[in-house]
A and B are shown apart, each in its own frame.
Chain A
Amino acid sequence: MTDTILEVKDMKKYFNSPKGKVHAVDGVSFSIERGSTLGIVGESGCGKSTIGKSILRLTEPSDGQVFFEGKDITEISKREMRRLRKDMQIVFQDPYSSLNPRKTVSQAIREPIVINNIIKGKDAINDRVVELMEMVGLDQRLYNTYPHELDGGRRQRICIARALAVEPKFILCDEPVSALDVSIQAQILNLMKDLQEQLGLTYIFITHDLSVVKFFSDRIIVMYLGKVVETASADDLFKNPVHPYTQALLSSIPVPDLEARKERIMLSGEISSPINPKNECRFAKRCRFVMDVCHESAPDLTEISEGHCVACHLLKTK
C-alpha cells in the first residue's frame, strides 16, 4: 500500500499581464508519498514557485485540486486553511527577508509556537525553543542574537526551526540553499535529511540546481514553461533521461571532475514566453529533434516504464 500524503490534480495558474495571460502553471499533476522528497526542477520562470504557492494557497490556483491527506484543500475556507498550515510549512530561499530583523533568535522561534497554541506555559515554551535550537544546530549562546548578526546558514537554520515549531507533516522548500555558500549549503542539506528521518517529514524541494536535487530527492519532476516534461525516480531520471529537454539540461551541468568530461547537448535559443502559448510542444523551438507534429499539438505525459513518465511526440514515432 502506498501512503499518499499530497496529491495535485491538473493544477493551473494563470496571471493577467498587459500582454495577455501568463500560463505560469498549465495542467500539472503529481502525488507524493509520506516521508519522501519530491524534487521540482526547471529553469527560471518555468512555474516552480507558483506550484508551491498554489499548493499552500498563498496564491489561489486558477484551476485544479490539491488533496492533503485525502482532503481537497482548494475547497476549504481560508480559516480552515490557516489551521491546516500547521501541517504544511514553507521554507524560502532568502532567509533574511523571511525573518523579522527586530526579533532575536529565540523570539523568532517562539512566535509560531505561541500563535498556533502548540504548547502552553512559559517554561514549557522556553524548553521547546531550546530543544528546537538544538535540533537545527543553533548554539544556545545565540539565544538573544539578532538575524543581522548571523550568516546566511544560521539564518536558514532559524527559518527551519520556525517551520518545525508547529510540528508539520509536510514542508515545501523553495530554493532553501540557493543563496548559501557550498560549505554551508552542505550543512543545511544534511540537517534537512536528518530531520526528515527523525520526524518522518515529507518534502517538496524546489531548485534549479540539478546536483542538489539528485542528492536530495526520491522522485523528480522536470518542468518546462508551466508543464511537466518528465517525471521519474531520481536514479532513473539521471540514468535514463528520455525527454530531449531533460537530456540537454542534465548534460549542461558543469561537473567538478576532470575525468567526467562528457558530450554536451547545446540548446540554441532561449526559453520562449509563457504568455498565451500556442497549442504546441513548448520546447519545440529549442528541440533538436523537432517534427511537424510538435507544432500541431502539445504532447501528453505518458508512462514509458513503471513510474517514469514523459511528454514528447518522439515516443509515438519509436
Chain B
Amino acid sequence: MNSNDKKVLEVKNLTVTYESEGSVVEAVNGINLDLTARKTVGLVGETGAGKTTTALSLLGLVQKPQGHVKNGKIIINGKNILEMTEKELENIRGKEIAMIFQDPMTALNPVMTVGDQIAESIVKHEKVKYEEAFAKASELLETVGIDKARAKEYPHQFSGGMRQRVVIAIALACRPGILIADEPTTALDVTIQAQVLDMMKKLKDEYETSMIMITHDLGVVAEICDEVAVMYAGHILEYGVLEDIFNRTKHPYTEGLFNSIPDINDDKIRLVPIDGGMPDPSNLPKGCVFHPRCPYADEKCKTEKPELKNISETHQVACIAYDRPGFSLGRSNS
C-alpha cells in the first residue's frame, strides 16, 4: 500500500448490531478497512462473518429497525456516510458507490425490461433525456456481452449468468467510484463464473473503479483481488496484500480455511478441517473469537482479545500466539 495512493474509502472502528427480543447479535465488531483508488479488496469469510452487514453499512442500508450502526466512521471521498441524511445517501448511491447482490433476481424488477432498468439508473444520476439513456443502456448491454437487441426483454427471459451481467451493467451505468460486489458469482456455474469475473476485471480497469469483493471462495480471491481481509464472527483476523494472505499466511483461521479446501493440484487423502462450528453471534466467545476452534489456542487466548497488529508494512494479524517465542503455523509458507 503506497502512501501516495489515494484512499477512496476509509472504514474506522465500524460496529454493527442486530437487536430483537432481548438478544443482541454482534454482527460487526470494530473493523477498520481502507480502499485505495483502483484496487480491489476481498472480504473473505464463512457464513455469519459479517461480510454483507459491512457492505450494507457502506451504503447506509443496514436493515432497520433491528440493525444499528453503533460506532465508527465510514468516509467516502471525505464525507462520513454515517452522518448523512437519507436524501444525501440517495444521491451518492449508484453514483459514488454501487452494489451488486448475490441473487440477481432480487436486484431486478421482473416487470420492467432490462434496457429500461439500466436507463432508469442512468437518468436518476445524470441529466440526460430518456432516449439518450436508453441508447447508453443498450451499449452497456453489449459491454457486458449481451446483444443490444435484447434490451427490450424481461429478466425471466435471461439465464442466471446473463441476469447477473445485467445487474453488473446497472451497477456500472453511472461509473461509480466504488463498487461492492457481494458474492456476485456464487450462484453461477464455473464456466459462466469465469466469463463474469473476466468481464468484471476488464470493466474495473476501464472504468477505474475501486472494488470490494465479498466471497467465501479463496479461488475467486486469488483471481481478482489485490488485498484481502479475512473475517470471522464480525472481526477482521488477518489483512494484507494477496501474497501476504496466500504465501505468508499468519492467522490460524486463514490457515484452517486453506486446509479445508480440496486442492485440485494436490492429491490429498484427507482434508484438515477446522474443528467445531461457528460461534453463536449473540454470545461470542470471550478473548479471541476464534479460540474455541483454534488448534494453537492456550489459556491466554480465552481471556485476552487480540488486536490487529502490523507485522509488515502491508500485513496485519490479530493473534496473540505470536507473543510466544518462536511461534509459527504448520502451513508451509513460501
Interface, chain A (partner B; CB < 8 A)? 43-44, 151-154, 181-187, 189-190, 193, 208, 210-212, 214-216, 235, 238, 248-258, 260-261, 264, 266-268, 270-271
User: Chain B residues near A214 (CB, 8 Å)?
Assistant: 262, 264
Measured CA separation A255–B242 after assembly (Å): 13
**Would you give the shortest CB distance from A279 to chain B, in whole angstroms?**
24
Residues B273 and A183 in contact, CB atoms below 8 Å apart: yes
Instruction: Summarize B's interface: helix, strand, loop or mixed.
Output: helix
Q: Which of B120-159 contact A (CB under 8 A)?
A: 159
* With contact pairs A254-B217, A254-B222, A256-B258 given, residues A210 and B278 touching in the complex (Cβ less than 8 Å): no
Residues in chain A near residue B194, CB distance under 8 A: 251-252, 254, 264, 266-267
Identify which of B161, B189, B260 contacts A185 (C-beta below 8 A).
B260
Closest to B192 in A: A270
User: What are 21 A-B pairs at a CB distance below 8 A?
Assistant: A43-B191, A43-B192, A182-B216, A182-B257, A183-B260, A183-B273, A187-B273, A190-B273, A208-B189, A208-B190, A211-B263, A216-B262, A235-B267, A253-B219, A254-B194, A254-B219, A254-B220, A255-B222, A258-B243, A266-B195, A270-B162
Is B195's CB under 8 angstroms from A267's CB?
yes
B219: chain A residues within 8 A (beta carbon) = 253-256
Measured CB to CB, the closest approach of chain B to A193, in angstroms, equals 7
- In the complex, which of the residues A152, A184, A271 has the most CB atoms of chain B within 10 Å of its own CB atom? A184
Q: Which of B280-302 contact A (CB under 8 A)?
A: 293
Residues of B within 8 A of A215 (CB): 262, 268, 271
- Docked complex Cα distance between A253 and B257 (Å): 17
Contact B198 A266 (CB under 8 A): yes
B264 close to A255 (CB less than 8 A): yes
B238 to chain A, nearest CB (A): 15
Question: A182 CA to B265 CA in the complex, in Å?
Answer: 18
Q: Is B63 an interface residue (CB 8 A)?
A: no
| Residue B306 interfacial (CB < 8 Å) | no
B67 sits at the interface (CB 8 A): no
A211 touches B264 (CB 8 A): yes
Give the CA-CA distance A233 to B192 in the complex, in Å: 26
Chain B contacts of A187 at CB under 8 A? Answer: 273
| CB of B193, distance to nearest CB on chain A (Å) | 7
Chain A residue nearest to B159 (CB atoms) is A270
